Amino acid sequence: MTPAAKRLAILGGLGAGMAALVGAGVLQRIPVDIGGMDRGRTEAYIGYALAAGLLYAAAIVLIRGPTLPRQAVWIVLAAALVMRLLVVTAPPLLSTDLYRYVWDGRVQAAGINPYVHLPADPALSQLRDLGTGPTAIYPNINRADYAPTIYPPAAQAIFAAIGLTWPTIWGVKAAMLGFDLLAAVVALGLLHAARRPPVHVLIYAWNPLVVWEFAGGGHIDAAAIALSACALLAAIRCRPGWAGAALAIAVLCKLLPAALFPAIWRRWNWRTPVVCGAVIVAGYACYAGAGWRVLGFLPGYATEEGIGDGAGFFVLRLAGLLGPVPRWVGSTYLAVAACGLLALAAWVSLRRPLPPDPAARAIVIGRDALWLGLAVIAALSPHYPWYFTAVAIPAVLTPMPSALWLMLSSPVLYLDHGLDEVIWPAIVFIPFVLLLARDVRRRSDPQPALAAKGS
């Protein structure tokens, strides 16, 4: 067997091993426990997810070594599809968010603005189903009695389409799987633009966090990530209007992609901000009948997650181990973090123009998007693992250790659902910050010559 064939066999073995671990994780869903499994099964699932992460890391080392045969990309895509099919047919595991998606779609299918009523509002009583088990919708909605929907207009449009076609959790999971696959296809386009081997799509397609949270959890982040990827590709291809439109729709699915705007915009480029702003305004105008309620549960969510008083930020939780943290510290931290993020955004957008060479331009845009995403995550320290998928696409072009650690270690945050144990976020964020500092020190301007030859 030739060395290339051996590497191909190893790649196939790693893919098979990851698929087996994903399958073992799926078994932790039986019997289904809506709203989360017991501690023992949660720990077992996390163990499988972390083990899959080790194989994933080994696969990244393999594909970044000597050139693999061209068949390698087909092995990557086949294994990625198998992993997704294993989880897409299973009920949700550790999040019930997709039940809200189905409910919002059901409300809109009835001709009602989803921002107007709580799920528990008597005005919507005729839409409720009172069954039990994982296929029942209304009984499994989280915060049904006090929280209006939090999801922005583009997300609501997706929910409405699901409500009119396949208003079940399987409809949601199928839709998010579709967006996930779109993101993988766009990732191939990004790699082509950067003159990187197509087999590097593995960095996205085999990412265990992506597999579990999109095909498994059915999170709307899949749509946001796919549209963000489209925005990056449009910017690389010098289509500023399309880039602005795609990013705007991504933001209208989930607000976090707004952090990527400086990566696709440079001064004197007026089309991107104008189109982006116009699409966002148009999106909210579609639901203007709700008035100020179109903001949904966003203000309440910020309070609930400890963003206002600082209780949700890891660095302040860590400081709390030394003694009580005054309430003003939270607002001060927010102000300092906001200033730092704005400074980074200005530096990215206002520095020298993008390189004229498409490959160098792709690497610069991808790298900038990754830095911006990591900076926001470092500042906010979210405790929901699916938030970290925001950096999954930029990491395909710039697979920095800090980004990979963040995504691969994040399943342990499922053990800190009540924000009462510092050890679990410490496992994620302390190494992440150290690796991020190392990545900052090692940062250098990309050159087209560094792009690997296609395989």
d(CA 45, CA 367): 32
**E strand or H helix that includes residue 27:** helix 3-27
d(CA 42, CA 257): 29
d(CA 99, CA 133): 12
With 90 as the cut, is the pLDDT of residue 131 above it?
no
Question: What's the N-to-C CA distance of the chain in angstroms?
Answer: 19
Among candidate residues 215, 111, 106, the one with its CA nearest the CA of residue 164 = 106
Render pLDDT for 165-215 as a digit per residue (tens, 0 to 9): 999 999 999 999 999 999 999 999 999 999 999 999 999 999 999 999 999
**Residue 454's pLDDT band (cuts 50, 70, 90):** very low
The dihedral built from the CA positions of residue 447, 357, 180 and 256, taken in this order, carries a sign that is: positive
Between 405 and 3, the more confident residue is: 405
Single-letter residue type at 359: A
DSSP annotation of 324 reads P
Among candidate residues 124, 150, 159, 152, the one with its CA nearest the CA of residue 138 = 124
For the chain, what is the mean pLDDT? 92
**Residue 450's pLDDT band (cuts 50, 70, 90):** very low
Least trusted range by pLDDT, from 71-85, 153-167, 292-306, 374-388: 292-306
**Residue 36's pLDDT band (cuts 50, 70, 90):** low
Between 35 and 15, the more confident residue is: 15
Residues whose CB falls within 8 Å of the CB of residue 132, separated by 6 or more in sequence, listed in order: 139
Q: How far apart, in Å, are the Cα atoms of 139 and each of 100, 136, 150, 203?
A: 10, 6, 18, 37
Q: What are phi and psi of 353, to 5 degrees?
A: -60, 165
**Token digits for 42?**
């949660």
Q: How far apart, in Å, are the Cα atoms of 350 and each of 21, 53, 203, 238, 428?
A: 45, 37, 30, 17, 32
d(CA 5, CA 398): 27
d(CA 21, CA 79): 12
d(CA 231, CA 250): 9
